[in-house]
Amino acid sequence: MLGERLCEVLDYAQQRGLPSRIVSNGYWATSSNVAKQRLTKLKLSGLRELNLSTGDNHQEWVTIEKVLTAARESLRLGINTVVSIETTKHSHFKEKDLRQHPIYQSIENEGLDNRLEIVNAAWVSFHRDQEYEYEDIDDAEINNGCDHLFKFIGLNPKSELVACCGLTVDYIPEMNLGKFNQDSKLKQAYDQQKDDFMKRWLFVAGPINIMRMVKQWDKTIQIPKFAHYCQTCAYIFQSEDIRQCILTNFSSIKDEINQKFENKIKINEELKLV
Ligand code: SF4
């Protein structure tokens, strides 16, 4: 939808030696020729990866044919290509359906399939009118804390600085670090987060462990089952009961969390991760 502006943005990244990725539903791939023309321009502007989304919800609007046409042209041009499939316990469209599709088979026949990455991604709803069920989610990824914090500063399309790139960042006002402008002091915006106990705790323990602690403090609090740890994170910030429980009890763990935070920051600095 950005048209030529998209090429300008990619050029800008390329001139600074930065890789770029586009996440798209592939609606623009109305034919092989159209997809080839669009992707050729994007590749010349430095596009490194095309990430296409599909699945039951996407296919209400964009056909799988468009997604696979975009993927095939992208692979032919040598762009790293990923197809991400919405996954819940009751999804109708599955990876095997994609692999049986004639366009996918033409990708195989051309020997391009070994460069196509297919990802079964948990489909996350942020709306209360939609509920999905999931297989058990492995939360090992987040057991040592959320490594997305204190690693970078993000800039969202509204020119606001954000503390993390989590799926639910728009639902957590506390992750917004203020408007970006020419006078913004990025280091100051980064450092001021260190005064926020919740960010420190998320960084060293992660939202799932925080929820476990809350449950120990107050056994009456009900915890819904989520597909992704960022949903758990948003739930912690949005639930008045949980916020109140943390406010009442956090002083009992404050020193321990602060010490862990200082240690993790120091280790990351030594490993040059921050
Ligand atoms: S868990 Fe929370 S802090 Fe971490 S990336 Fe997700 S939303 Fe951001």
**CATH code assigned at 105:** 3.20.20.70
Same domain assignment for residues 192 and 241:
yes
Residue 184 pLDDT class (50, 70, 90 cuts):
confident
**Which residues constitute the domain of residue 248?**
141-270
pLDDT digits (tens, 9 = 90+) for 69-126: 999 999 999 999 999 998 877 789 999 999 999 999 999 999 999 999 999 876 666 5
Please give the tally of structural domains in the chain.
2
Domain boundary among 78, 96, 123: 123
Which of 84-93, 209-218, 226-235 is modeled with the greatest confidence? 209-218
User: What local confidence, expressed as pLDDT, does residue 269 receive?
Assistant: 84
- Report whether residue 204 contacts ligand 1, using a CB cutoff of 6 Å: no
Same domain assignment for residues 88 and 200:
no
Same domain assignment for residues 56 and 168:
no
* Pocket residue to mutate for ligand 1, from 124, 143, 202, most atoms within 8 A of Cβ: 202
Residue 244, pLDDT above cutoff 70: yes
Q: How far is the CA of 102 from the centre of ligand 1 (A)?
A: 39
User: What local confidence, expressed as pLDDT, does residue 238 receive?
Assistant: 93
User: What is the enclosing helix (H) or strand (E) of 68?
Assistant: helix 64-76
User: What local confidence, expressed as pLDDT, does residue 167 receive?
Assistant: 80
Same domain assignment for residues 254 and 154:
yes
- Report whether residue 233 contacts ligand 1, using a CB cutoff of 6 Å: yes
- Report whether residue 145 contacts ligand 1, using a CB cutoff of 6 Å: no
Q: Which of 238, 270, 123, 121 lies closest to 169, judged by CA?
A: 238
pLDDT digits (tens, 9 = 90+) for 131-172: 555 555 555 556 779 998 998 888 888 889 999 988 889 899
Q: Sheet holding 80-87: strands in order across? A: 20-24, 47-54, 80-87, 116-122
Same domain assignment for residues 31 and 119:
yes
Residues in the chain: 274
Q: How far is the CA of 169 from the centre of ligand 1 (A)?
A: 7
Residue appearing with tokens 């002083």: 251
Residue 274, pLDDT above cutoff 80: no
21-54: b or e for each residue (b if 16 or more CB lie within 10 Å)?
A: ebebbbeebeeeeebbebbeebbebbbbebbbbb
User: What local confidence, expressed as pLDDT, does residue 139 receive?
Assistant: 57
Q: Rounded to 5 degrees, what angle do the CA atoms 195, 189, 171 make?
A: 80
**CA–CA separation, 139 vs 41, rounded Å?**
40
Q: How far is the CA of 105 from the centre of ligand 1 (A)?
A: 38
- Report whether residue 228 contacts ligand 1, using a CB cutoff of 6 Å: no
Helix axes 32-44, 4-15, angle to 10 degrees: 30
Q: Which atom of ligand 1 is nearest to the CA of 232?
A: 1
Same domain assignment for residues 85 and 11:
yes
Q: How far is the CA of 25 from the centre of ligand 1 (A)?
A: 24
> In Å, what is the CA distance from 182 to each residue of 49, 159, 179, 186?
30, 11, 10, 10
Same domain assignment for residues 177 and 253:
yes
Number of C-alpha atoms within 13 angstroms, CB side, residue 258?
10
pTM of the prediction?
A: 0.69
> In Å, what is the CA distance from 9 to each residue of 5, 20, 260?
6, 9, 39
